[in-house]
Amino acid sequence: MASNSKRKRTAKNPHAAEYKVLQPSCQDAPQPSATSRTVTFDCNPSGRLGQHTEITEVEISAEDLATLAQDPEFTSLPDDKTLNYEYFEQTVQADKEDEPVAPPVPPVKVKKVKRNIFADWLPYHDTHVHELTRHEGWADLSKKCIQCLQADAAYKCDDCFGPTVHCRGCIVSVHARLPFHCIKYWNGSFWQSAPLIDLGLRVQLGHNGGPCAAPYAFEAPLTVYHTNGAHSINVSYCQCNGPSGGYLFANQLLRSSWFPTSLARPRTALSYSGIVSIVLDIENDIFTRPCIRETREMYDNQEQYQE
């Protein structure tokens, strides 16, 4: 036969295009035959096309070969020389588009377990409670004053650093410039409040804290509002150069960082730290009256412990 006959067969791989081409062999052979050349185009995982060719000898009668040559299904196929990669790339691409695309699987989020700090603390619970409650008693404090090392110790300060105990005279001298500290006295059973005014503390104004040759004091103590409450303090004013008008006492209070509420004979003042605390409360929409009530409650608690 003069024309080539071709036969299309379905490939097993959905991404492969397989064609089988039948060509007549030598016509001098006693039995007509044809050469079967199977060309398989496959899509590799990398996306490139691969080609595999198998050639076999097929026995076929002359009548069947003539019938295949007249079949339009085979004659309409492209010629063997026109089979190129571009043709089969379109075929493979069409097969890929027909396949259902699986939805992307979102990555599994590993939930981070927050460390329980309380679990680490629980084994030391008893130890911490023991260390905190030891401040409520005498524990292993020194029997003698750590300042003079002679008198019996019975006073401590809650605002000073460390569990130190002093005698009455030393606790007053140590707090001569710290009148807002809270002092406690050991009565043999528990610590009770002992304000510095009851221990004999008197604050001298002027002379940069030094002694004054002409001190002057009012009969009533001065009430000063601080960040930790209200404190009654005996104050001595300086009159070495004599009275200089009605602003004498107020000026000395201002130089000591105490803001007086009156000018002639001040009975109440506020520390600068207390004023800053009140201003911050006002800026944060906290009323002044609850702030003053809080300081009064702190002061009342001190008197209650004293009683």
- Looking up residue 74, the CATH number of its domain turns out to be 3.10.450
206-226 exposure pattern, b = at least 16 Cβ within 10 A, e = fewer: beeeeeeeebeeeeeebbbbb
Residue 132 or 85, more confident: 132
Is residue 5 within 8 A of residue 35, CB to CB? The reply is no
Could you tell me the pLDDT band of residue 26, with boundaries at 50, 70 and 90? very low
Domain for residue 223, yes or no? yes
Burial (CB < 10 A; 0-12, 13-18, 19+), residue 192, is: middle
Domain for residue 116, yes or no? no
Residue 51 or 209, more confident: 209
Among 54-58, 82-86, 107-111, 209-213, whose mean pLDDT is lowest? 82-86
User: Is the same domain home to 53 and 92?
Assistant: yes
In which domain, by residue range, is 161 found? 138-193
User: Is the same domain home to 291 and 208?
Assistant: yes
**pLDDT, tens digit, for every residue of 76-107?**
444 444 444 454 555 555 555 555 667 888 88
**Domain closes at, from 98, 127, 149:** 98
**Domain closes at, from 128, 160, 193:** 193
User: Is the same domain home to 248 and 284?
Assistant: yes
User: Is the same domain home to 179 and 152?
Assistant: yes
Among 10-14, 33-37, 295-299, whose mean pLDDT is lowest? 10-14
Q: What percent of the chain has pLDDT over 70?
A: 58
187 has pLDDT over 60: yes
Among 68-72, 219-223, 262-266, whose mean pLDDT is lowest? 68-72
**pLDDT value, residue 285:** 67
Is residue 74 within 8 A of residue 10, CB to CB? The reply is no
**pLDDT value, residue 89:** 53
User: Is the same domain home to 232 and 161?
Assistant: no
2 has pLDDT over 60: no
234 has pLDDT over 90: yes
Mean model confidence pLDDT for the chain? 76
Q: Which residues pair with 225 in a beta bridge?
A: 230, 270
Give the alpha-carbon dihedral of 166, 171, 175, 181, to 10 degrees: 80
**pLDDT, tens digit, for every residue of 191-212?**
999 999 999 999 999 888 788 8
Model's pTM, two decimal places?
Answer: 0.56
Give the alpha-carbon dihedral of 157, 162, 167, 170, to 10 degrees: -80
Domain for residue 160, yes or no? yes
| Run of H or E including 125 | helix 125-133
Could you tell me the pLDDT band of residue 290, with boundaries at 50, 70 and 90? low
The amino acid occupying position 281 is D
Comparing CA positions, the residue from 54, 51, 50, 43 lying closest to residue 20 is: 54
Mean pLDDT of 276-298: 68
Is residue 105 within 8 A of residue 56, CB to CB? The reply is no
115 has pLDDT over 50: yes
Q: Which two tokens stand for residue 55?
A: 């050639």
157 has pLDDT over 50: yes
User: Is the same domain home to 160 and 186?
Assistant: yes
User: Is the same domain home to 302 and 209?
Assistant: yes
Q: Which two tokens stand for residue 243?
A: 């009275």
Domain for residue 60, yes or no? yes
User: Is the same domain home to 208 and 294?
Assistant: yes
**pLDDT value, residue 154:** 95
DSSP-H helix ranges across 206-284? 248-255, 272-283
Q: What angle do CA 233, 269, 288 make, to 5 degrees?
A: 120
49 has pLDDT over 80: no
Is residue 50 within 8 A of residue 44, CB to CB? The reply is yes
Q: What angle do CA 155, 161, 166 make, to 5 degrees?
A: 20
Domain for residue 148, yes or no? yes
**pLDDT value, residue 140:** 87
Domain for residue 112, yes or no? no
User: Is the same domain home to 293 and 251?
Assistant: yes
User: Is the same domain home to 272 and 251?
Assistant: yes
**pLDDT value, residue 48:** 67
**Which residue in the block uniquely carries the two structure tokens 């990398």?**
46
Domain for residue 106, yes or no? no
User: Is the same domain home to 206 and 298?
Assistant: yes
**pLDDT value, residue 306:** 46
Number of domains composing the chain: 3
Q: What percent of the chain has pLDDT over 90?
A: 34
**pLDDT value, residue 211:** 86
**pLDDT value, residue 172:** 96
163 has pLDDT over 70: yes
Mean pLDDT of 34-60: 65
User: Is the same domain home to 178 and 217?
Assistant: no
Domain for residue 128, yes or no? no
222 has pLDDT over 60: yes
304 contacts: CB under 8 Å, gap ≥ 6: 193
**Domain closes at, from 168, 193, 218:** 193
